[in-house]
Structure 1
């Protein structure tokens, strides 16, 4: 799977890219215009979904424009001597067109937030939900790979207890399985038993 995700929703755009140890986040949304990096270590395995609402001022502004347009047609109809049937069809056309436009403009969408040290959310619609969920799975997969690469080693410099606690942490968070835990623990014991001075 690709390590990039681009989301376009109306005039909003989000771009995410997974690197070896961090994620590049580029937000150009109604709420945020930001670009920053989030280290993989600072992303938690919890998320929540919020529903966005359009602000009331924008709705009032659009309604005001529509009402002013209807009023202008009504006034100009006196001078243009439009028939009542034509005037009614104009009003109904404008009303239905306005309702359709307002409905599409003010359709709510969800935001899927991932808990992390920095703002990390996705515009989440029915259309892109599967793609976003797959990308989030990839983020967690890359995070596991990152932790394994960083901590699932025997370090000749670090004390025995620190390394042992790392392996327990990896195992308790399910970044390694029980068999891997037993093998690395055994290797660590062998290494420090062979180099007896290092264990102290």
Structure 2
């Protein structure tokens, strides 16, 4: 899970977005390798080739640093609107795109973040909402298009049913800590999701 990055030299000076990106990447690597409890600002600074006060200037707490590091890691998996002309094919394509991202986050959220939840009094659902739900507008637009085409009954697309295939994907990944197979994704869409809304 650790993504190898070139170690910056001690004399290398970065500012603004470049410095923040290096710090967040270092925090992500510390989180995945050592877990939330062992993550320190000093270790993040050393990995990023800078000093601890630099990290302190950017983030007031370890909680805020970790949340931003997870968000940056999630941004590497942006969703692309498949727009195939079919809700079935659009949903399969979106689930395929999310499959790898869910697998990555499942390993971190289950193995490395227990101390984070205890310290902050938050839940995995709250962290997911701050990271994953930003992509929900694209998923909603795919479903609105299908309803406008008359492909599905829009009245049946309740929030819970609309989220069902994505919730099932997340559950499978969390339970197995590996991506869902393409055939399983298609089964979820064809035998569970579409019959509920057509």
Structure 2 length normalisation: TM-score?
0.28
Q: Which has the larger radius of gyration?
A: 1
Structure number having the greater helix percentage: 2
TM-score by length of 1: 0.28
> Greater relative contact order (Cα 8 A, min sep 6): structure 1 or 2?
2
